[in-house]
Structure 1
Amino acid sequence: MLKLTFLGTSAGVPTKQRNVTALAIECLNPYLIGSIRQQDKNKSNNKNSKSRPWLLIDCGEGTQHQLLHTKLSLHQLAVICITHVHGDHCYGLPGLLASAAMSGRREPLTLIAPKAIATLLDAVILTTELHLPFAINFMTIEDLLSEPINQNKVTIRLDNQHQLEIDITPLSHRVASYGFGITQTITRRSLNTDKLIADSIQASALWGKLQQGEDVMTDDGRMLRSVDYVDNEISQTRAVIAGDNDTPERLKAAVVGADVLVHEATYTSDVLAKIQAKNPDFDPMHSSAQLLGRFAEQVGVRNLIMTHFSARYQSFDNPTSSTPNMAHIRLESESVYQGNLWLAHDFAQYMVNGSADLADLAGETESGSVQYLGSARDHNN
């Protein structure tokens, strides 16, 4: 299960209601921590919620301030992915790293980003005497895409039953921009106790060793193979998070099997056309709500979350208003897209369930793999 918290949903510049781009993704294993929903409702139980590893996709200016309104801790941040070098996606990175250092973080941190981000950090470290007491495992996107073996994929092992695979898709924007596919794989070993009892193997420490994958010898000399008594269940959840991109078709292969697509819808199609006509020499190279919705419909994306809205669009939803607002984005999307659609706002949270068995553990039904949870600010009160 992946829990998405939008920390910024504005394009280019912040507004009074929206900060610039950042998205937190918590990696939840319900087999280990029980009912996620119940823990989130129990506001006095913060221990487990603060021990969940999470990823940060983009880090616009002010992201660390947004985090203060959530339960997310920089000590549990496992990976930062930067889609491209425009400031509304990366200007907050040096400050966030500095705050992590000052809060006592010592564990290494993985950073997946364009090479230019290393130049940015080097300059900040040199000119501001920034000291980071933790190692940064910097993986440049350009190098990852050029590797002949396992190209464009990074595997992050959270524990022996829980891992992430991050794959990278080049997109189309004014600078090199990328999309990240986040695939969470959870393996659960279930001990077949009925078979053990039927084979006259009573409960003992041997059971635990078998469940951990060890072959064991009984007191009467019988060799027991773990594979004969343990069932492995594998569940996956996949989210695709796109950077700025004017050609959604670039993600056609990436969204196959995805449970949700998160993609920019900076403008409505008429506003985008006016911007392009006004200055033919400058194309902002963003997607419109119509362009994105049509792509999602054509390739069968079941769940679509739009974000990165131009500051001209106000946060209210009123289709009759002459002031550009979320209703105009929403209606244009709904005219071409029939799937489940959400327009993200700052602190909006969504639970993404990739498998029916995991969904059942969280009290979900099979009616949809994405559920809107409300605002992180409300949950953090």
Structure 2
Amino acid sequence: MLKLTFLGTSAGVPTKRRNVTALAIECLNPHASGLSKGNQPHSNSQNKKSRPWLLIDCGEGTQQQLLHTKLSLRQLTAICITHVHGDHCYGLPGLLASAAMSGRREPLTLIAPKAISALLDAFILHTELYLPFTLNFMSIEDLLSQEDNKSKVKIDLDNQHQLMIEVYPLSHRVPSHGFGITQTISRRTLNTDKLVANGVPASALWGKLQQGENVIAEDGQHLLSADYVHDDVQRTKVVIAGDNDTPECLSEAVMDADLLVHEATYTHEVMMAIQARNPDFDPMHSSAHIVGTFAQKMSLKNIILTHFSARYQSFDNPDSETPNMAYIRLDAQSVYQGNIWLAEDFAQYSVNGATDLVDNQAGSQKESRVQYVGSARSN
């Protein structure tokens, strides 16, 4: 299960209600202690050490936004920066400095354009920024130049819990990128009821069967692991886009995605008006209409729109003459019939991918699900 917390949803500049872009993604394992059978966190929450998280973009003020959440910089596993525009990266030096001052010592992965490395080098040199942890920098340019699918970064969280981060080029005034985040959780389950029914009492043999070994019981029965064990593999994939005027750049990325998070800076009407006033200027952002059209074409079931122009107020009233979120929502809904959410700062969503249940009889699959779970401020 992935849990998304929006830390900033404004385009370009902050507003009184929205900070600039940042998104936290917690990687929760429903089989770990602290999570209920319904895959929802208990009130005492999963042990922090088993709650690694990623940060996608880090606009100015992101570390201040984090103070309103339960996220710890010590459990931050990786930071991914989509592009070099300030509303997506100006908060990075301060956040890293705060991580150092909070006592972090574990290595941290940073996936970003090469220019971000130069930016950090300048801060380190001119402000005496000291990082007591290793920053494993991976440039997007180098990743995309690799062949044989080496633009993927694999992160092993434990022996049953892995992440794969994929990079996708987008279309913007500067090189911009999207990230596909795929979580894989595997679990081998022993059918104890079947063992008992077949007269095999609990013993060390059960453990061997669960580990994939074929064994001989005390009464001489030959027990095949495949007859008593099935594998559950849950894959959850979200695609997070940076600034992008051509959602079709993500056609391949969203083929197997449970959720697309994409900017919708304007309504289509406003975007056309901007271009008409200055034909030589292309904002190179998407309207809600453009994203909705793409999502409908790709049969996407779930999209979350974010990165809204400051001209749109946070309330939702289609009858108001003041531009507001209803304008964005209706622009997308005019062409898209799936599930749509408009992100707000601190809004949280859980994403449960489909689970493949594989045994020696047949394979089956549980449906994926995206759900709004409240605000980080109140949770």
- TM-score in same-fold range (> 0.5): yes
Q: Indicate how the Cα distance of structure 1 residues 156 and 368 shifts in structure 2: closer, same or farther if over 3 A, else same.
A: closer
| CA deviation after TM superposition for structure 1 residue 211, in Å | 2.8
C-alpha contact 1:69 1:376 (8 A) present in aligned 2: yes
| 2:62 matched residue in structure 1 | 63
Matching residue of 1:284: 283
- 1:229-276 C-alpha deviation (Å, 9 max, x unpaired): 432111111111100000011111111121110000000111111222
Q: What corresponds to 1:294 in structure 2? A: 293
Contact 1:177 1:244 in 2 (8 A): yes
Structure 2 CA distance, aligned partners of 1:237 and 1:214?
29
Query: Alpha-carbon deviations, 1:260-313, whole Å to 9, x = none?
Result: 100000001111112222223321200001111111111111101000000111
CA shift in 2, pair 1:373/1:39, >3 Å? closer
CA distance in 2, matches of 1:109, 1:73: 13
What CA RMSD, in Å, does the superposition of the two structures yield over aligned residues?
2.4
After the TM superposition, which of the residue ranges 76-85 and 27-36 deviates more from structure 2?
27-36
For residues 38 and 114 of structure 1, the distance between their equivalents in structure 2, rounded to whole angstroms, comes to 35
Classify 1:209/1:62 alpha carbon distance in 2 versus 1 (closer, same or farther; 3 Å). Answer: farther
Gaps of 5+ in 1: 359-365
Give the Å deviation of 1:51. 3.8
What's the CA shift for 1:227? 5.1
1:48 positional shift: 2.4
CA contact (8 A) 2:232 2:355 kept: no
1:305 touches 1:341 (CA, 8 Å); kept in 2?
A: yes
1:6 aligns to what? 6
Q: How does 1:95-110 map to 2 (within 5 A)?
A: 95-110=94-109
Q: Which residue of 2 aligns with 1:184?
A: 183
Compared with structure 1, are the counterparts of its residues 296 and 214 closer, same or farther at alpha carbon in structure 2 (3 Å cutoff)?
A: same
Cα distance in 1 between the residues matched to 2:328 and 2:352: 26
Identity %, equivalent residues:
72
**Alpha-carbon separation, structure 1, partners of 2:347 and 2:139:** 30
Pair 1:373–1:195, CA change in 2 (3 A): closer
- TM-score normalised to structure 2 length: 0.91
Structure 1 segment 1-381 matched on structure 2, within 5 A: 1-33=1-33, 34-35=35-36, 40=41, 42=43, 45-46=44-45, 48=47, 51-194=50-193, 196-197=195-196, 201-213=200-212, 229-355=228-354, 369-379=369-379
Q: How far 1:200 moved relative to its partner? A: 5.8
Matched-pair contact (CA < 8 Å) for 1:240–1:254: yes
Contact 1:50 1:73 in 2 (8 A): no
Q: Distance in 1 between matches of 2:249 and 2:105?
A: 38
2:171, 2:244 within 8 Å by CA — same for their partners in 1?
yes
Q: SS where residue 73 of structure 2 aligns?
A: coil
Q: What amino acid sits opposite 2:310 in the alignment?
A: A
Which amino acid in 1 is paired with 2:309?
S
Contact 1:195 1:229 survives alignment (8 Å): yes
Per-residue deviation at 1:344? 0.4
Structure 2 segments unaligned to the other structure (5+ residues):
358-365
With structure 1 as the length reference, what TM-score do the two structures score? 0.90
**1:196 CA drift (Å):** 4.4
CA contact (8 A) 1:296 1:304 kept: yes
Cα offsets for 1:11-56 (capped at 9, x unmatched): 00000000000001111111113328786462xx146256411111
What secondary structure, in the 3-state scheme, does the structure 2 residue paired with 1:310 have?
Answer: coil
Name the amino acid aligned to 2:171.
Answer: S
- Paired residue type of 1:29: N
Aligned residue identity for 1:242: A
Q: Partner of 1:5: helix, strand, or coil?
A: strand
Q: Deviations over 1:114-160 (max 9, x none)?
A: 11111111111111111111111111111111111223211111111
Aligned residues: 370
Q: Distance in 2 between matches of 1:368 and 1:324?
A: 34
Distance 1:226 1:296, change over 3 A: same
